[in-house]
């Protein structure tokens, strides 16, 4: 007879209390701003200051660096709550995690003490620079180079699709330091502060969704990086990038989950109020079944995400597979649920006076960034094959 295993995850009372605080903040301060943030394509500095004041940027960090020490599960809960109302604002939290993870994983003690406390307070904004114009899903094909010049490094090349480009204070940049190594080997990670000579930001991209989060390219022309700003070991950057994404894609899954739940909640409220043929449309079976499927998929996505986040907190070996499954399922759910929400609202769902069209536009990117869903399927399949051949 097998023993009963430990719970997949457990949400402590203090997490639920914090969730309630965040939910109230979102209702009162974030939701009223969401339409304008999207319409004006503005980075909401007021929302950022609000999050900093309530320690939301401290969530990814250990207490020794000024963080809350609450781990990945609380982080995804926070992102989910914010994304119910504004996906662009939720991305502030997700990218804060992504941009700081390489430092937390492999940064020197000197670097951690210098950088992490300023990130934990929200004083500094981080960014993660891996993708290039010809190296998106295949980062091993990157062309950005860093060569030694005495004890310093000289960086040349470009990056593309960088979230928070132009507003970030520090960038984690990946570059090839040994071109003779085989594909994906010989890549090194560096910390780059925004005021380095030769470092420039491109024009912001005009995007379908998450318009309140700036995205742009980066260019490096003979940028000098001191030796203390190397992250981890020389030539081990690719592994660091993959270890980072195994954890950070949980934030994108949480963003997608929040978008889906926000769309469900709005569609249900609308269906209960909207009357056709003399009664609320929520009384029609066609609408009821659609709402039931939307809520069921969203609930299932939450269970998978929370389990994956708990695995990240426990450091379990199959985290990569579970984070890929969570990102895949949550983002596909967000896309399907928001399309259905637009359908429930009918013509009103298609106009900007109602939030579900924004939710649908925001949902699409969750299937693309931090690893397309095609790549997530590859990650899951390879994990299955590897386990099957042992």
Fold adopted by 239-388? Butyryl-CoA Dehydrogenase, subunit A; domain 3 (1.20.140)
**Residue 138: per-residue pLDDT:** 86
Quote the pTM value. 0.96
Write the pLDDT tens digit of every residue in 184-240: 679 999 999 999 999 999 999 999 999 999 999 999 999 999 999 999 999 999 999
Mean pLDDT across the stretch 340-350? 98
**Neighbouring residues of 388: CB distance < 8 A, sequence distance ≥ 6:** none
CATH number for the region 126-237 comes to 2.40.110.10
pLDDT at 260 over 60: yes
CA dihedral 18, 74, 89, 267 (to 10 degrees): -80
**Residue 139: per-residue pLDDT:** 83
Write the pLDDT tens digit of every residue in 25-57: 999 999 999 999 999 999 999 999 999 999 999
Domain-wise residue ranges, the chain: 13-120, 126-237, 239-388
Q: Quick one: DSSP state of residue 4?
A: P
Mean pLDDT across the stretch 253-270? 98
Mean pLDDT across the stretch 8-21? 95
Catalytically annotated residue among 80, 81, 132, 370: 370
pLDDT at 335 over 50: yes
Burial of 180 per CB tally in 10 Å (0-12, 13-18, 19+): exposed
No. of helices (H) and no. of strands (E), the chain: 11, 10
pLDDT at 24 over 90: yes
**Neighbouring residues of 78: CB distance < 8 A, sequence distance ≥ 6:** 18, 19, 22, 56, 59, 93
d(CA 258, CA 92): 14
Identify whether the C-beta of residue 149 lies closer than 8 Å to the C-beta of residue 179.
no
**Residue 4: per-residue pLDDT:** 41
**Residue 6: per-residue pLDDT:** 54
Fold adopted by 13-120? Butyryl-Coa Dehydrogenase, subunit A; domain 1 (1.10.540)
- The mean pLDDT value of the chain amounts to 96
Told to judge if 303 belongs to the known catalytic residues of this protein, a careful annotator would answer: no
Task: Find residue 172's DSSP bridge partners.
Answer: 128, 191
**Nearest C-alpha neighbor of 29 from the set 103, 99, 94, 85:** 85
d(CA 366, CA 178): 33
């Amino acid at each position: 007879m097998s023993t009963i295993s430990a719970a997949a995850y457990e949400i402590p009372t203090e997490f639920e209390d914090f969730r309630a605080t965040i939910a109230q903040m979102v209702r009162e301060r974030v939701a009223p701003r969401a339409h304008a943030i999207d319409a004006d394509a503005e980075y909401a500095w007021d929302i950022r200051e609000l999050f900093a004041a309530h320690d939301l940027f401290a969530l990814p960090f250990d207490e020794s660096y000024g963080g809350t020490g609450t781990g990945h599960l609380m982080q995804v809960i926070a992102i989910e709550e914010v994304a119910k109302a504004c996906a662009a604002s939720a991305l502030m939290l997700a990218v804060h995690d992504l941009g700081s993870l390489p430092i937390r994983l492999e940064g020197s003690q000197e670097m951690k003490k210098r950088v992490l406390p300023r990130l934990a307070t929200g004083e500094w904004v981080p960014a993660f620079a891996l993708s290039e114009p010809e190296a998106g899903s295949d980062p091993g094909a990157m062309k950005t180079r860093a060569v030694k010049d005495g004890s310093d490094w000289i960086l040349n090349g470009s990056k593309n699709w960088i979230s928070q480009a132009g507003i970030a204070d520090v960038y984690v940049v990946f570059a090839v330091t040994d071109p003779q190594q085989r594909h994906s080997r010989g890549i090194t990670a560096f910390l780059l502060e925004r005021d380095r000579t030769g470092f420039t930001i491109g024009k912001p991209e005009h995007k379908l969704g998450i318009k309140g989060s700036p995205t742009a390219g980066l260019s490096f022309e003979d940028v000098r990086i001191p030796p203390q700003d190397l992250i981890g070991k020389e030539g081990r950057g690719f592994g660091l990038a993959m270890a980072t994404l195994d954890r950070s894609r949980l934030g994108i899954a949480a963003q997608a989950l929040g978008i889906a739940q926000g769309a469900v909640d709005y569609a249900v409220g609308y269906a209960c109020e909207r009357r056709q043929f003399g009664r609320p449309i929520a009384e029609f079976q066609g609408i009821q079944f659609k709402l039931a499927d939307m809520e069921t998929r969203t609930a299932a996505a939450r269970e998978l995400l929370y389990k994956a986040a708990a695995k990240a907190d426990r450091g379990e070996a199959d985290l990569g597979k579970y984070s890929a499954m969570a990102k895949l399922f949550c983002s596909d759910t967000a896309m399907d649920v928001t399309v259905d929400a637009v359908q429930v609202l009918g013509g009103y769902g298609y106009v900007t006076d109602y939030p579900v069209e924004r939710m649908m536009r925001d949902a699409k990117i969750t299937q693309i960034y931090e690893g397309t869903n095609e790549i997530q399927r590859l990650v899951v399949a390879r994990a299955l094959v590897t386990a099957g051949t042992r």
